[in-house]
A = this chain, B = another copy of it.
């Protein structure tokens, strides 16, 4: 392996060269990052470079949640996840762009594969920065599809662990029944290393042994009619590649058709609670998108919300029974290739259900759509079996084509 300091210096150099076009960072200070780079700590993440999604507190950079309400806002300390990564030797390069409060209003980041396209949201900057080779680990989060979708659009690995696995201290809440931290990385191995650090107050050793699942359930999901050509191609390619190696079986999830509506109900209600101060006291600084979410939530009655949480629990038990029959599930990660930026950050359709169900998800790159842009697929594991999911993912990653690399503004490839 390369010298640690040299690796950090290369990453920072890429930020200096390419971020004026990619715009993945909301806060980056070359001087500060350079100082950090000169003394990477020891630990399993020694010298790996991290971008921190800007809904996560950092002592050394402002934390704005992608909102004008929090312009120049400084937290007194680091979020727990940032402390854990630093303690394991990682170098924090800066803050990465989030959509407003991790919802839909986009920031300035572009897709490194095509500057006219969205990187996806809400973890826009973390996904684009990993794709552009600027960082090794992008801290990200997911309440609906905020990690899986940008990982898919940017052709990188996205790991959204089981609900509750990583501590959320110092992370802005949006829908606490679903909010989960995760990581975006160039490969499964780095995701597993980050997981070994983020899963507890102290790192647990990780030995990532690729593991062949005996049986994979293929879930086109009840929303398959919304899959575009890119996702149809990616699911077909993934199925073809994996079918040679193990048993694959279609799973009918038509009795999960309520899942997405339940997710919308619960998330809207909880966002209206969580962002009560911003809505009541700073409404003029909120986007129409987030006001729409909050006002939808305010129209939901307590009893409707409680009924939705109970139905969600029932669906979790039902999915446990499905997962008794398969080691892992294969599912679409997004509707298709990245849309044009003018059309928003893409639809969360293909992740709402898995997030509602609290299951761990691993988005894998390597496949492409009709425009040649990246399209991911996701593997979904059993609740709490994050280690197993990462091992199945390492197996599948080796079968898939290598992830595509963008050609950046000056023509240099990653």
Residues on A facing B (Cβ under 8 Å): 59, 69-70, 73, 76-80, 82-84, 86-87, 164, 167-170, 173, 176-177, 199-202, 204, 269-270, 272-278, 280-282, 294, 297-298, 301-302, 305-306, 384
Contact = CB atoms under 8 A, between A and B. Distances in A.
Given A70-B76, A164-B176, 9 more contacts: A83-B276, A83-B281, A87-B280, A167-B176, A167-B273, A169-B173, A200-B269, A200-B305, A201-B297
Given A168-B173, A168-B176, A277-B78, A302 B83 contact: no
Contact of A84 (B70, B79, B201, B276): B276
A69 B69 CA distance: 25
Nearest to A65: B76
A389 to B, nearest CB: 15
Given A77-B281, A280-B87, A281-B77, A169 B201 contact: no
Nearest to A170: B277
Report copies per complex. 2
A269 B306 CA distance: 29
B201 A273 contact: yes
A169 B273 contact: yes
Contact of A69 (B76, B84, B199, B276): B76
Contacts of A270: 167
A296 to B, nearest CB: 10
Which residue of A70, A202, A269, A281 has the most chain B CB atoms within 10 A of its CB atom? A202
Contacts of A269: 200-201
Nearest to A203: B302
A177 B176 CA distance: 12
A79 B172 CA distance: 12
Nearest to A305: B200
Contact of A201 (B87, B176, B276): B276
Contacts of A201: 269, 272-273, 276, 294, 297-298
A82 B278 CA distance: 12
Nearest to A80: B276
Contact of A273 (B59, B80, B273): B80
Contact of A167 (B59, B202, B276): B276
A62 to B, nearest CB: 11
A178 to B, nearest CB: 13
A167 B266 CA distance: 13
Contacts of A78: 277, 281
Nearest to A74: B76
Nearest to A177: B164
A204 B76 contact: no
A83 B274 CA distance: 10
Given A167-B176, A167-B270, A277 B200 contact: no
A278 B77 contact: yes
Nearest to A272: B201
A275 B84 CA distance: 11
Given A173-B169, A272-B201, A79 B302 contact: no
Contacts of A69: 76-77
